[in-house]
């Protein structure tokens, strides 16, 4: 995006500090949380609906098979929704939302980034008058056609009514106290945002953090491996030991798990930049197995390593 040039120096500068500090800070962090800790973060499943996890009386995570997580808060003033699933499950989701909120209207929808797995309800809710909030970069991506260079996948721009109708650059707050903000590291895209529910101490982070295998590094729209290392570090400052952290993929996490991820991605970032500085390319990076001690837990890394390495090229020469 247009602001990429201006941000480049800041991000690089920041990352140096982030990665340098990470090594010392997180050495003691355990990669695995105890079963008790996992239980504490997971909440309970709503009886009769295994796709709904209750985090608090009025706060739920919706996890339909193959879909990204949604977070839903009900209140007398209506529903607040973080992300909207893909368009093919829009009807099913609207039904679930209606049941959980006893017919409440969705007042606010956040798009944590532009991907179709997050924006499938935008059109229906936009037409219904919902306030759709995103970072300005996310709105820009949703108002243009996008093709991923690595596999040719195409994404059509959304109609105007489906685009975010309230955007921000840094942070914001709803009247109810819910806070939100930009994640400027560009972990997944350059429009990543978080939403924090202070009453329930729940932090929703979208795809800036993955808790289900290796993440997608969408460098086409600004994401990069340094951003993943930076964001997993930065988001720790918004959480405490009791915060439940909801990623777009996988189970609800706690701070210890986020710290472990930050350590891992700092290591991987370090190795990939070393390979880059030696003049290696993406295939050589894959062959060097820069994630080897994490693969047993995380799965086959080849696609991730390739994208992550390409993201260094894209990031360091944005006009190339
Ligand atoms: Zn995504």
Which DSSP string corresponds to 268-314? HHHHHHHHHHTT--HHHHHHT-TTGGGHHHH---HHHHHHHHHHHHH
Residue 91: which residues within 8 A CB-CB, separation 6 or more?
A: none
Rounded to whole angstroms, how far apart are CA atoms 209 and 228? 7
Residue 207 Cα to ligand 1 midpoint, Å, equals 5
pLDDT exceeds cutoff 50 at 5? no
Q: Is the dihedral of CA 120, 67, 51, 165 positive or negative?
A: negative
What average pLDDT does this structure show over 9-35?
36
Residue 7 Cα to ligand 1 midpoint, Å, equals 21
Residue 216 Cα to ligand 1 midpoint, Å, equals 7
End-to-end CA distance of the chain: 14
CA distances from 85 to 64, 65, 115 (A): 9, 11, 10
pLDDT exceeds cutoff 50 at 144? yes
Residue 278 Cα to ligand 1 midpoint, Å, equals 31
Residue 188 Cα to ligand 1 midpoint, Å, equals 7
pLDDT digits (tens, 9 = 90+) for 59-117: 999 999 999 999 999 999 899 999 999 999 999 999 999 999 999 999 999 999 999 99
Residue 247 Cα to ligand 1 midpoint, Å, equals 11
Residue 294 Cα to ligand 1 midpoint, Å, equals 22
Residue 28 Cα to ligand 1 midpoint, Å, equals 30
pLDDT digits (tens, 9 = 90+) for 219-263: 999 999 999 999 999 999 999 999 999 999 999 999 999 999 999
Residue 205 Cα to ligand 1 midpoint, Å, equals 11
Residue 215 Cα to ligand 1 midpoint, Å, equals 9
The strands making up 79-82's β-sheet, listed across from edge to edge, are 44-45, 52-56, 59-62, 70-73, 79-82, 106-110, 131-135, 166-168
Residues near ligand 1 ion, CB 5 Å cutoff:
115, 207
């Amino acid at each position: 995006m247009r602001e990429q040039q201006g941000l480049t120096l800041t991000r690089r500068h920041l990352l140096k500090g982030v990665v340098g500090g990470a090594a010392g800070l997180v050495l003691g962090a355990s990669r695995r949380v105890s079963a008790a800790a996992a239980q504490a973060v997971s909440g309970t499943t709503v009886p009769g609906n295994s796709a709904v996890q209750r985090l608090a009386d009025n706060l739920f995570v919706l996890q339909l098979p193959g879909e990204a997580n949604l977070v839903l808060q009900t209140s007398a003033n209506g529903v607040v929704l973080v992300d909207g699933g893909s368009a093919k499950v829009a009807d099913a989701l609207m039904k679930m939302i209606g049941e959980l909120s006893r017919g409440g209207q969705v007042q606010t929808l956040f798009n944590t980034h532009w991907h179709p797995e997050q924006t499938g309800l935008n059109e229906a809710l936009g037409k219904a008058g919902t306030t759709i909030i995103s970072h300005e970069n996310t709105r820009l991506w949703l108002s243009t056609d996008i093709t991923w260079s690595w596999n040719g996948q195409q994404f059509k721009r959304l109609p105007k009514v489906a685009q975010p109708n309230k955007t921000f650059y840094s942070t914001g707050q709803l009247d109810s106290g819910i806070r939100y903000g930009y994640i400027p590291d560009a972990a997944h895209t350059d429009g990543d945002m978080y939403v924090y529910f202070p009453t329930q101490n729940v932090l929703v982070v979208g795809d800036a953090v993955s808790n289900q295998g290796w993440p997608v590094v969408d460098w086409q729209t600004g994401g990069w491996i340094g951003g993943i290392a930076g964001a997993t570090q930065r988001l720790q400052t918004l959480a405490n030991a009791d915060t439940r952290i909801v990623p777009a993929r996988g189970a609800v996490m706690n701070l210890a798990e986020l710290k472990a991820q930050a350590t891992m991605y700092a290591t991987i970032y370090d190795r990939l930049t070393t390979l880059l500085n030696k003049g290696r390319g993406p295939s050589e990076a894959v062959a060097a197995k820069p994630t080897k001690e994490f693969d047993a837990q995380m799965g086959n890394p080849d696609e991730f390593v390739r994208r992550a390495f390409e993201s260094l090229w894209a990031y360091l020469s944005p006009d190339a």
